Amino acid sequence: LLSSPSLESQKFIWAVERMLTTTPPLLYLPPRLLLRIGAPLWTQHATAWDHIFSHAQARIQRAYQRLSSSQARRSATGAAGGQYTGVLGQLMEKGQLSLDLIKANVP
């Protein structure tokens, strides 16, 4: 717990914090008031979500590449699969879910 997160992880944390900070005013303040005071909340909110989605896509891509390379190694050595325990990982491992479908279903 003493190690600090990577810069990539820290940027993700900041994006989530920004998204959570900008959500209540966007939900409860009238849009005209936000325009009148010149609050850039929508821009900050959208930018935070963009970073969250790009981070998720990068993580999915990395996991998919690791899965593909580990499957290639297993098929070369004849070893059994079963590395992933989650539903998403199992669907990826069995080839039942394409990378595009995974990305399309990221909330």
52, 58 Cβ separation under 8 angstroms: no
For 4-12, what is the mean pLDDT?
Answer: 90
Domain ranges of the chain: 7-104
pLDDT at 83: 60
Task: Give the rounded percent of residues in the chain with a pLDDT score beyond 90.
Answer: 31
Measure CA 1 to chain center.
22
pLDDT at 79: 54
Q: pLDDT digit string (tens) for 10-62?
A: 999 999 999 999 999 999 999 889 888 888 999 999 999 999 999 988 888 88
- CA-to-CA distance for 16 and 14, rounded, in angstroms? 5
Which residues are CB-contacts of 61 (< 8 A; sequence separation ≥ 6)?
99
Q: pLDDT digit string (tens) for 59-98?
A: 888 888 887 777 666 665 555 555 666 776 777 777 777 7
The model's pTM: 0.70
